Structure formats: structure tokens, C-alpha cells
């Protein structure tokens, strides 16, 4: 899949998205991953709590914080 990103991405058969970040396989999420990914997109992975953003054509990990759920679900 070509998304014009510098980061190597792939999708598994279970529709999970992964990337190679700092020579490690990193889980990017499933439904949280923006399609198509574009500059400035941000997302929060529910399973891991990781925060990501696309900066200068690369997927960057911004940090980690627990996913609290959607406000409208409470």
C-alpha cells in the first residue's frame, strides 16, 4: 500500500496496522488508524494507550496515556 509516507506500514489479516519505528514493530491500532493517513492526522490506540501523529510524512509516537473511552459512551 502506498500512502506517500516515509514510515514502513503494513496491515495484518486481522486488519491491525503496524509500522517499523526505531527498528521495532509497533502496533498502530485497528479502527483508530486513519485511512488514508495524511499529514497532521493524530490517533489514540485503545488497546495500548499509545498516541501517534503523522509529522513530515512519518508516523511519530507522541507518548502514552490510558484510553478512557468516548465521552458519549458514559
Mean pLDDT for back-to-back runs of 10 residues, the chain (74 residues)? 83 95 95 93 94 96 86 60
Calculate the CA 2 to chain-centre distance.
16
Domain ranges of the chain: 9-67
Is 37 within 8 Å of 8 (Cβ atoms)? Answer: no
pLDDT value of residue 60: 96
pLDDT value of residue 61: 96
pTM of the model: 0.85
Q: How would you write the chain as a 3-class SS string? A: CCCCCCCCEEECCCCCEEEEECCEEEEEECCCCCCCCCCCCEEECCCCCEEEEEECCEEEEEEECCCCCCHHHC
pLDDT value of residue 72: 63
Residue 52: how many CB atoms within 10 A of its CB?
A: 26
pLDDT value of residue 4: 84
Amino acid at each position: 500500500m502506498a500512502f506517500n509516507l516515509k514510515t514502513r506500514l503494513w496491515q495484518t489479516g486481522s486488519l491491525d496496522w503496524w509500522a517499523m519505528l526505531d527498528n521495532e514493530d509497533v502496533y498502530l491500532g485497528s479502527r483508530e488508524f486513519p485511512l488514508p493517513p495524511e499529514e497532521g492526522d493524530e490517533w489514540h490506540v485503545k488497546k495500548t494507550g499509545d498516541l501517534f501523529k503523522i509529522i513530515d510524512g512519518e508516523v511519530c509516537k507522541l507518548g502514552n496515556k490510558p484510553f478512557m473511552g468516548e465521552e458519549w459512551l458514559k
